[in-house]
Structures are given as C-alpha cells and as structure tokens.
Structure 1
Amino acid sequence: MLPLCSYGQRPGYELEPSRSKADTTRQRDLIDIGKDILNIKPPKGPDSSGKSIYFSFLPFSTNVPGGGHALITSTTAGFFTGNRETTYMSRASFTPYTNFRGRFGLPIRSYIWLKNNEWVIMGDTRLLKYPQFTWGLGRQHEEDDKLLVDYTYMRFYQHALRKVCDGMFAGIGYNLDYRVNIDTKEAGLSLGEYTDYAYGTDHFGRSLSSGLSFNLLYDTRSNSINPMDGYYAYFQYRVNPTFLGSDHTWQSIYVDIRKYIRFTDDPNRQNMLGIWTNYWSVLNRRVPYLDLPSIGWDVYNRSGRGFDQNRYRGRHLMYLEAEYRRDITANGLFGFVVFTNANSVAGPDSQLFKDWNHAVGAGLRLKFNKGSGTNIAIDFGKSRGFSGFQIGLDEVF
C-alpha cells in the first residue's frame, strides 16, 4: 500500500522534439516536384525517410568585379554523423567559381557535429583568383572612387572544439591567410597610394598571416543550414606571430551572436525573427590591409546584404542585422524574408558606433530539400549608392 515514486531526467544532449522531429511529409520541395514530373515513385517497403545525408545543388551566372560574367555552382550537403536524436545536423558546402578566363574560386566550408555533439569541427579552405573593388579605410572614398585589386588568395582555417557542458564548446585552431600577386596596375595607382596604409600594400604584392586561434562556442541550433530557433554565440581570439610565418605579429578578436525567435509552435511552418550581431577588431597597428575587418568578410562571408563586398573596411567593425522569415505556402515550398542591416567602421571620416551605414532588402525562398531544410535564397538589397541581387543555398544566418 506504500507508494513508490521515481523521477526521470532527460539527458542533456537530447534535442527538443519540436526542433528535431519536424514532419517533412507535410512539406514539399523541388525534389518532390521533380519526382512528379519524372513519375518517380518512392520505394516500397520500410520507411526510407530517415536517411542521413541530403544534397542540394544550384548553378547560376552572375556579374563579377572588373567586368564580365562567371559561372558559380553551389553544392550543400546536410548530414548526420551519429543518431539524429542526439546529434545535430552537420553541413558542408562547395562553391566553385570560374569565368573561363583565368579567374576562379574553390572554396570548401564545413561545420561538423561529431557523435552525440561531443565535438564541433569547423573548416574553411579556399583557393581564389579574382579581382575585387576596395574603397580604402572607413569612409575614405566615395562609392564611385573605387580601386580594383586583383590577387591570388589561399585560406586554410581548421578549428576543433570539445564539449564543455550542454551547448558550450571550447577549442583551438589554425588560421592561414596568404595572398600573392596583389596587383592594381590596371588602375595606374598602387594600393598603398590609394589607401595611405603601409602594411600589406607594398610593391612586393604579397601578405602572409599565420597563427593560432582560441575559440569558444555556444550553439543550440539543431540545424545550422536553416535554423528554426535557438542561440548561437562564437568568440575567437587570434594570434599571428612571426615565428609561424606572419609578416608581422598581430592579434584580433571576433564575436558573433545570433538569436532565433519563433512565433509558432508548428515545427513545419516558418514564422520567425532572426537577430544577428558581430564585432571584429584588430589589436595591433601592423596588420596587412586585406586582413583588416571588412564588410562581407566575416566567418562565412554573409554580412552586408545590400552592400558591395569590401565596401567598408577598418581596424574595428560593428555589424547588426535583423530578418523576418515566413512561409507563403502551407507546404513550405515558397517563402519570403525581409531584412535590414547596419554597420559602423573606424576609419577616416567615420567613427565606430557613431557613423552607421544602412541597408534594407527582401527575398524569396524556394525549398530545394525539405530533409535538410535547404532553400534557394534570392535576395535584393539596397544601400546608399548600391543595390543588387544575391542568390545562393541555405540561409544567410
């Protein structure tokens, strides 16, 4: 007749059901449409919806700095390295670029969750040969007074972070930025003369920064390709000593914080607000010009929709963005976003936190792969003196 009571506790690594078990059978994507057109029937027998890897692919053409067009193909893979009940979805992307006349890019990025989210492995490897415009430091030059800079760039970033507690990770990494053949001959003006900056702009046409980074991460997003809710916070302290090959000894800090606020309890519907801010600062004077904080050169090159990449550069940069996301159709095939962002950079004729540069825009979303949540994202952004379209796979943040 005596009662016996027991209490169960959910393991700390288990994902919330609302984020890990969306019923994708109620959703529709381009793969479903392709199956209908080609009359491809799903296999009979056991349910095959629990596959562990999802591919998305998108080829498109766009204008490039210096004139002409280039072909860009973007491939994104979402996959699980362990049980999806206890392991977040990892992602890897490959976005090769070429104009078939000597300009090319081979970037490979990855964000991998190991089994039970015990480790996070972040990678960013690039080999690029393409020109970009620059406008000096801060508001040093007006929109039309830009300089075309061509160079070959190799980046190799690899970071490994170990779980400290639920959602929190700490680790170290290696960072290499190597640029050669830095050239502005077509403009008849050297980079040093244009920017009035002495480091990484000399006639040797090269710069090398090689160093270690110490990283802290807090991430509760079960899917970084298309976050539905949760938090993301990342801190990096980077040290580039000369004994590792750097041209000069210098340090930097980078802080990135994101919050996703859902307005519906239905995990199959998109109705949310994303908020993103990051702060990037160098702590020494002798930093190569092309390694200085710049709009569009954050960790994943996603900041600054509505601005030209590199439009604002300086020793310190603050960035803010907010985006509202919502489905248009009940099956999630079509959706839209509206966004606004602002940045403040230290430099000639501008002061950090005092002078702000603003952009606004909107975009359409077309579901490519409902299993990974991958969207084709088409955005239009506008700022003072610039407007343009941006197309790609997965969300900006």
Structure 2
Amino acid sequence: MRCMRYLSTFLLLYFACLQNSFAQVVSIQDSSIVLRDTSQFVDSRLYDVVDLFQDLNPFRKADTTSTQKTRSGISYLPNINYNPSIGFQIGLKAVGGVYLGDKKTTSMSIFATSANYTTRGIFYAYLAHDTYTKDNRWNLKGNLVGAKLVGLDYGLGMGVPLENPEVDEAIMNNPERDRYVNHYNVYGFSERLYKQLLPGMFVGGGVFFELKRQVRTSSEFNTSPNVIYSGWNNFNATQNNNNGLMFNLQYLTRDNPNSAYTGIYTDVVLRMNQIWMGSQKNAYQLQTDVRKYWQLSERRPNHVLAFWNYGSYNIGGSLFYLDLPGTGKDPYARSGRGYTNGYFKGISFFYSEIEYRFPILKNQFLSGVFFANVQTANDQMGTKLFQQWQPAGGGGLRVLFNKMTRTNLCIDYAFGKFGQRGLFLGLNEAF
C-alpha cells in the first residue's frame, strides 16, 4: 500500500508539470481507436494524459461546437528519469510523430530532442530523427549528440571467474565486481539513407563520427580496465575517434515504432571504422537488430507478446574500449534492464529479450508488462561467445501519454545477478 501511495504521488506530480504543454497541430477526426489496417479490432475510446487533465480542469469550458479540437502529435515534457546507470535525471524533452504520406503506405516519422543533467554529473543533449518519405520510398535516420558522460565500468566479459588468471586478466575479468568510473566527453554525428527496394525492405548506407575526449578513470586502484585493454590493443587510452562508414539492410512491417502491436523490425548494419577518416584503428562490426510482435487479442490490440534480439559481432580489427558492445550499448540504450549500462561487454555481444504486454484498463490509459532477458559476450581472456550467460527480468506499468503517437510513460522495476536491480523510467517501450 505504501508503494502504491508513493507511486500515485509521483504520477500526480509528474503529470502536473505537463498540463497545457501540447501544441495543437494534428487533427483527430473522432475519438475512436484508429490503427492502420487494424481499425476493426477495437471500438472503445483511447484515453491519455491530455484527456485526463482536460477532464480534471475546473476552468474547462463546454465545447458548444461540433468541430473537434485539434491535438498534437508532439509531446513536450520535463524529462524526469532514473536508472542505476545515470542516477536521477532532470531535463527537457520533445518527442513527435508525423506521417509524411498516406498512413496505409507510409510509416510514422519520429523526431526527438532532449537536454538532460543527472545526479552523477552527466550532461547529455541530442537531436534525432527517423524519417519516412511518402510511400516509404526513402528512410533517413540520424542523430547529433553532445555529452559529458560518467560511466560505471565493471571490466570485460561476463564476470565468471577465470582459472589461474594473470594480474591484468583478473582486473579485466573483475569477478568481484569492483566498480570503476570512466569520465569523458563525447561529440557525435551520424546519418543513414535507405532506399526502399520492395515493400518493407530497404538498403542503404551512411557515415558516423564520434569523438571521445578527456577520458579518465577514477577508482581506488592503480590501473583500470580501459588502460589495460588499451595497452593490449595499442590504443591511446585518453582519447579516441570512432569514425567510419555504414552499410545497412532493413526490413519492417511493424505498425508503430513507439509501441508496436504487430509486425517485424529487422536492421542489419556493417560498421567500418576507418583510419583514413580519423579512427585510431580499422575495425569491422556486424550489428543485427530483430524485433517481432504477436498480437494476442483482436478485441484488445495492446495485448502483445514481443521478442527482441540484438547482436554486435566483431569480424575484424579492434574497437576502442569505450566503444565495445555490451549491456545498454544498443543504438537506443534500452537493452539489459536489470543491469547498469556496460555492466557486461565484450569483443562481440549477443542479447535477447521477451516481453508480455497486457491491458489493464479498456481505454488503454493503464497497461502492464513482464519481461525477461539474457546476454552473453566473449573477451580477450579465453571466454567464447555463448559460453557464459547472465539473465535479468522484471515488470512494469504503462501510462498512455499521447494517443496520437502511442507514446507510453514506462515505469519498470528490474533485477539481475550480482545484486543488480533498480527502477527504470522513460518514454516509449524498450523495443
């Protein structure tokens, strides 16, 4: 009961900050659920946070006209967040969705920007987009990032003790889970361009530039995993350029990027760090992102079983230590709920998650999830990919924040091994 009382108080304070913060841009023709190709599934009324405050507003005037007021596909909000990796976060965020063509043949384009500061001394600002032109003929994805980061570091591999390790190997493996803290600044830009070949299938390429500067580690020890790894692989441990080219193959049939009910999303990316573009070393990493959604009820469309697999596989060269794939190192930093970002990492990384999403209220204002995930990585001390696994799981609550874009406020509690656990707050589903 005490937890529910605290949660209710938090939600009221959170939502109180959001009243009157929605621009009036996109028109709604009626208040029924309208889903592309699935409008026959549900007749009940969608109800979101904006509807809640309109109903609670004591100064609201009765609408005497027959014309529906317009509603926005853009959400402006204080970006209050928490997870074990960053601490408590406060900032400002804007998330928008718009169709640049017929909804039946064009996917929703998503735009987001944010500036945030956290109790761990992290500053992070970004501008990102995922744009689909009319009839999905072209798809552009990109982001611009500037950040001062503080990242917790637990070494390389999966934390399973090695047999007879050398001193440096024992520090890198870190079975006691000693905590190192990496401080560094990041400046990044990336842009990808896809051409649709067949319905739902895209091929393309792009460029990425990421500069890490003033890299240092604070700990009670004389050395750090970053310094040891950089010595093993001939990197400058204090700064790095991660610049190169990307080639991409994408296939998607999912009905919404924020909270999908049906379909598939697949993205295969070959990232190639290039010395001639400023990288310290050449490196070749194959990244795969596969997501599948099964709708479990025609009457309740948000009753869904969802599956996600993310992989990053080294096929040549060496990456800088802070660029190695691992927990929370996917493009949207949402993998591995139950652990801090980077808790496990390796030369290659494999991650899978399954999530059960179920409705609570018929109007979809409240819904819930249960999830479980597992991950594995190799290292430079002899552990192979798929040899050691680490699980995590948890559950959460969803509050429909903007019905125009199916944006949910996500409140999750997750737990893993080594005493790892925590509360994770954010907008939109993890996948």
Q: TM-score, normalised by structure 1?
A: 0.88
Mapping of residues 58-69 of structure 1, within 5 Å: 58-60=78-80, 62=82, 69=88
Partner of 2:414: 381
2:405 to 372, 380, 395: 372
> What CA distance in whole angstroms lies between the structure 1 residues aligned with 2:39 and 2:143?
27
Give the superposition deviation at 1:78.
1.5
> What CA distance in whole angstroms lies between the structure 1 residues aligned with 2:238 and 2:136?
43
Q: Decide whether aligned partners of structure 1 residues 378 and 65 sit closer, same or farther in structure 2, where only a CA change above 3 A counts.
A: closer
Is 1:282 matched up with 2:303?
A: no
Partner of 1:83: 102
**SS of the residue aligned with 1:18?**
coil
Mapping of residues 215-234 of structure 1, within 5 Å: 215-234=248-267
Q: Decide whether aligned partners of structure 1 residues 307 and 45 sit closer, same or farther in structure 2, where only a CA change above 3 A counts.
A: same
Give the superposition deviation at 1:244.
0.9
2:361 to 329, 332, 336: 329
**SS of the residue aligned with 1:26?**
coil
Equivalent residue letter for 1:335:
S
Give the superposition deviation at 1:344.
0.6
Partner of 1:137: 156
8 Å contact from structure 1 (residues 242, 248) kept in 2: yes
**SS of the residue aligned with 2:79?**
strand
1:57 to 77, 91, 96: 77
> What CA distance in whole angstroms lies between the structure 1 residues aligned with 2:207 and 2:66?
47
Range with greater deviation from structure 2 (103-112 or 181-190): 181-190
Partner of 1:12: none
Q: Decide whether aligned partners of structure 1 residues 394 and 241 sit closer, same or farther in structure 2, where only a CA change above 3 A counts.
A: same
**SS of the residue aligned with 2:80?**
strand
Give the superposition deviation at 1:320.
0.5
Equivalent residue letter for 1:44:
T
Deviations 1:248-270 (A, max 9, x none): 1111110111100011123x631
> What CA distance in whole angstroms lies between the structure 1 residues aligned with 2:52 and 2:35?
30
Partner of 2:53: 34
Deviations 1:87-126 (A, max 9, x none): 2211122232114896410022221111111111111221
2:339 to 307, 313, 328: 307
8 Å contact from structure 2 (residues 126, 145) kept in 1: yes
Q: TM-score, normalised by structure 2?
A: 0.81
> What CA distance in whole angstroms lies between the structure 1 residues aligned with 2:120 and 2:289?
37
Partner of 2:23: none
Partner of 1:44: 65
**SS of the residue aligned with 1:173?**
strand
Equivalent residue letter for 2:288:
V
Range with greater deviation from structure 2 (71-80 or 218-227): 71-80
Identity of aligned residues (%): 26
Q: Which runs of 4+ in 1 moved over 6 A?
A: 20-25
Equivalent residue letter for 1:76:
V
Equivalent residue letter for 1:273:
L
Unaligned runs of 5+ in 2: 1-33, 160-172
**SS of the residue aligned with 1:365?**
strand
Q: Decide whether aligned partners of structure 1 residues 119 and 178 sit closer, same or farther in structure 2, where only a CA change above 3 A counts.
A: same
Equivalent residue letter for 2:207:
Y
Aligned residues: 380
8 Å contact from structure 1 (residues 121, 161) kept in 2: yes
Q: Decide whether aligned partners of structure 1 residues 331 and 315 sit closer, same or farther in structure 2, where only a CA change above 3 A counts.
A: same
Range with greater deviation from structure 2 (111-120 or 386-395): 111-120
> What CA distance in whole angstroms lies between the structure 1 residues aligned with 2:47 and 2:155?
46
**SS of the residue aligned with 1:284?**
strand
Is 1:320 matched up with 2:352?
A: yes
Is 1:264 matched up with 2:297?
A: yes
Unaligned runs of 5+ in 1: 1-14
Partner of 2:202: 169
Is 1:393 matched up with 2:427?
A: yes
**SS of the residue aligned with 2:316?**
coil
Deviations 1:303-357 (A, max 9, x none): 1111110001111111000000011011101000000000010024743112110
Give the superposition deviation at 1:218.
0.3
> What CA distance in whole angstroms lies between the structure 1 residues aligned with 2:104 and 2:41?
12
Q: Decide whether aligned partners of structure 1 residues 40 and 375 sit closer, same or farther in structure 2, where only a CA change above 3 A counts.
A: farther
Is 1:151 matched up with 2:184?
A: yes
**SS of the residue aligned with 1:296?**
coil
Q: Decide whether aligned partners of structure 1 residues 334 and 168 sit closer, same or farther in structure 2, where only a CA change above 3 A counts.
A: same
Give the superposition deviation at 1:143.
5.7
Partner of 2:327: 295
Mapping of residues 246-257 of structure 1, within 5 Å: 246-257=279-290
8 Å contact from structure 1 (residues 325, 336) kept in 2: yes
Q: Decide whether aligned partners of structure 1 residues 326 and 195 sit closer, same or farther in structure 2, where only a CA change above 3 A counts.
A: farther
**SS of the residue aligned with 1:218?**
strand
Give the superposition deviation at 1:41.
5.1
